Amino acid sequence: MTKPSIPGVVRNYLAELDRGLAGVPGEVRQGIVAGIAEELEGLDASAAASRIDSLGDPAFIAAEARAGVPPRSTGPKSTKLVVAPPRVSEQRWYVVVTAALLYVGGLVVPLGGWVGGIMKLWASPLWTRNEKLIATIVPSAVGVLLFGIFAIGGLGFPWWHALLFGGLVGPFLASIVIGIILSRRGWFRAGV
């Protein structure tokens, strides 16, 4: 038995399809060409031409095949884990700036420096929520408490002493203590 001859239309179509599949991996490429060749096998020239029209342009088939195959890596694959650099609010210099604003920010820029330190503190993930609440509330609470003791307590201090201790010295000392504790904790939690 002799093999039936393949019409020129089929040979040209399969050759064009094979050229179009140049960037597709070998197994996929061979599978597509073999599948279409099987469909066109045994058809005469006019039936093959009709079937080729229904299959569509070989460039379109090749483009669909390339779209369905993940791109091949050109270089060696790395198993090394890529770690993103730490955010600005997770670095050690951020801890130093925040602590400095909490320590002396209120004295350098009255109230504004301390508020800036509190804002930086709340913007960073280095401290827990409880630490942030303590740093925010305690200096003000110490100031109110000392002012109350000196002004209302009947200790005989003039009002300006009460204001000095309650408004400046007490919150300043509380901020220093809290700033030291928070800076140590933040320093060890910070990345670089």
Question: Per-residue confidence of the chain (192 residues) as pLDDT tens digits?
Answer: 445 677 888 888 888 888 888 878 878 888 888 888 888 888 888 888 888 888 888 888 888 877 766 555 555 666 677 777 767 777 778 888 888 887 777 777 777 888 888 888 888 888 889 988 988 888 888 888 887 777 776 667 777 777 777 777 788 788 888 888 887 877 777 765
For residue 63, give both structure tokens.
Answer: 């483009």
Q: 36-55 burial by CB neighbour count: b if 16+ within 10 A, else e?
A: bbeebeebeeeebeebbeee
Please give the pLDDT value at position 129. 92
**How many residues are given for the chain?**
192
Please give the pLDDT value at position 161. 74
For residue 10, give both structure tokens.
Answer: 């089929």
The DSSP call for residue 83 is: -
Q: 157-182 burial by CB neighbour count: b if 16+ within 10 A, else e?
A: eeeeebbbbbbeebbbebbeebbeeb
Please give the pLDDT value at position 1. 44
Q: pTM of this prediction?
A: 0.48
